[in-house]
Chain A
Amino acid sequence: MRLLALIAVILTGGLIIFQTGAFPDFGDANAPANTYLSTYYLEHGQADTHAPNIVTSVLADYRGYDTMFETTVVFAAGLACFFLLRRKKVPGGEPRIYRHMPTGITLRIADGGKLPAEDSEVFRRLDTEFVPQQLIIKNTCRIVIPFIQIFALYVIAHGHYSPGGGFQGGVLLAASIILYAISHDLRRAIRRFSEKTAALMGSLGVLIYAGTGALCLLMGANFLNYKALAPLLGVDAVMARSHGILIVEIGVAFAVMAMIIWIYYNLSSAGKHDEGL
């Protein structure tokens, strides 16, 4: 089997490399991929959309449909993880073990017993992820997380002028919450950013994107043609396209952030949302 796979792979790779002779050279400015449309984008992008970062204007304006469905794919992936893995919490289920921190006494609370409050500082739950001392990790993350989030907001808002945008900013925001879940524990992260919030924010992001398109349709232009929003926003047509890009990027950031966090919750706890990594 391995030998067969090796032969098949070498054959396929050999065929591809054999054909590279017909491909354009590396860095060739006149290659077919670098002419036609991309030249138009570079020459007219800034005048059309008032966004110097052409990647952003192509992403959210010229190819708005593509990006809308990419966002929908991310949303669908989050939903798929939820439907595949999420399990209902059995009330009680197995006994839980708590430690009373001041005295160091360990308590075993049987199924149906009265449990201490989840965020109690006096009682700490002992589970497979229990670590007695993690002062440095916790405090470092406490300091770092707000700055990650501020940087993420900068990346989203500054997508027009520098590398950035909704996808990158959304992933950064998600990373800050995941860092919190890793450095503290999953239950605490879920209390801060619950599953319900994730579901609502993800849907809201897709709704903002599709709703902007539908609003353009209502204003009498084509779907996702932000020029039509000019009277609503009180600016000229070019500026309306610039603002339209920003609105859509915010929608993308919402959807991507919520879905990456939701996928993490479901994967790391195998759908139980109880004990994480």
Chain B
Amino acid sequence: MTDLLPLMAAKYNYWIYTILMMTGLYAMIAKNNLVKKIIGMNIFQTAIILFYVSIAYKTGGTLPIIMEGGHGGGHGAINAADYINPLPHTLMLTAIVVSVATMGVALALAIKVYRQYGTLEEDDINHQIRTQAGQ
């Protein structure tokens, strides 16, 4: 137990992202309503975004916008430790917009399912499919 607390303090970002990710996963597995499942998927995506952004952080680092040199092309010595890692930020920048667009598709599919079965509850839909197959 004495080992666990400093470990938690040094790596608390992973704990937060894991809790958030598992919340999303639980919603995707356990919830019966399709829209709630989609919201669970969105929470899951947010957890991954948090994970990427948190590993990009460097203690004492600032935004990855180079200050030295100004418009002159930056020939001064640039210390990479002064700036946070730009790569995960780039990946997540596109991932956020793509997650909005793919969530649009998921909601469109939910509307389509509602039109077909008149409900968004998963067990009702399963019941309808089974009774149709039984006839």
CB distance from B126 to the nearest CB of A (A): 12
Chain B's interface size range is: 35 or more
Contact A55 B90 (CB under 8 A): yes
Contact A256 B108 (CB under 8 A): no
Residues of B within 8 A of A84 (CB): 105, 108-109, 111-112
Contact A66 B94 (CB under 8 A): yes
Contact A81 B105 (CB under 8 A): yes
Asked if A16 lies at the interface with its beta carbon under 8 angstroms from chain B, I say yes
Contact A42 B83 (CB under 8 A): yes
CB distance from A177 to the nearest CB of B (A): 15
CB distance from B64 to the nearest CB of A (A): 4
Contact A20 B25 (CB under 8 A): no
Bound complex: CA A256 to CA B104 (Å): 13
CB-contact partner of A260 in B58, B95, B100, under 8 A = B100
CB-contact partner of A29 in B7, B30, B59, B73, under 8 A = B59
CB distance from B89 to the nearest CB of A (A): 5
Contact A20 B93 (CB under 8 A): no
Chain A's interface size range is: 35 or more
Asked if A50 lies at the interface with its beta carbon under 8 angstroms from chain B, I say yes
Annotate A262-276 by CB proximity to B: 1 below 8 A, 0 otherwise. Answer: 010011001100000
Annotate A169-192 by CB proximity to B: 1 below 8 A, 0 otherwise. Answer: 011000000000000000000000
Bound complex: CA A29 to CA B83 (Å): 9
Bound complex: CA A66 to CA B93 (Å): 12
Asked if B13 lies at the interface with its beta carbon under 8 angstroms from chain A, I say yes
Bound complex: CA A54 to CA B87 (Å): 9
Asked if A232 lies at the interface with its beta carbon under 8 angstroms from chain B, I say no
Residues of A within 8 A of B100 (CB): 171, 260
Asked if A231 lies at the interface with its beta carbon under 8 angstroms from chain B, I say no
CB-contact partner of B85 in A34, A81, A267, under 8 A = A34
Contact A59 B93 (CB under 8 A): yes
Residues of B within 8 A of A31 (CB): 55
Bound complex: CA A26 to CA B54 (Å): 7
Contact B104 A167 (CB under 8 A): no
CB distance from A20 to the nearest CB of B (A): 4
Annotate A72-84 by CB proximity to B: 1 below 8 A, 0 otherwise. Answer: 0110011011001
Given A13-B22, A167-B97, A259-B101, answer yes or no on A29-B81 (Cβ-Cβ < 8 Å).
Answer: yes
20 contacts between A and B (CB under 8 A): A6-B26, A9-B25, A16-B14, A17-B14, A20-B11, A26-B14, A33-B56, A38-B80, A59-B94, A74-B97, A80-B105, A80-B108, A81-B105, A84-B112, A163-B63, A167-B96, A168-B93, A256-B97, A260-B100, A267-B107
Minimum-distance CB pairs A-B, first 3: A27-B59, A77-B101, A5-B30
Q: List 20 additional A-B contacts (Cβ < 8 Å) besides A26-B54, A81-B105.
A: A5-B30, A9-B29, A20-B18, A23-B14, A24-B55, A26-B11, A31-B55, A38-B86, A42-B66, A43-B80, A46-B69, A52-B70, A54-B83, A58-B86, A58-B87, A73-B102, A77-B104, A80-B105, A81-B104, A263-B104
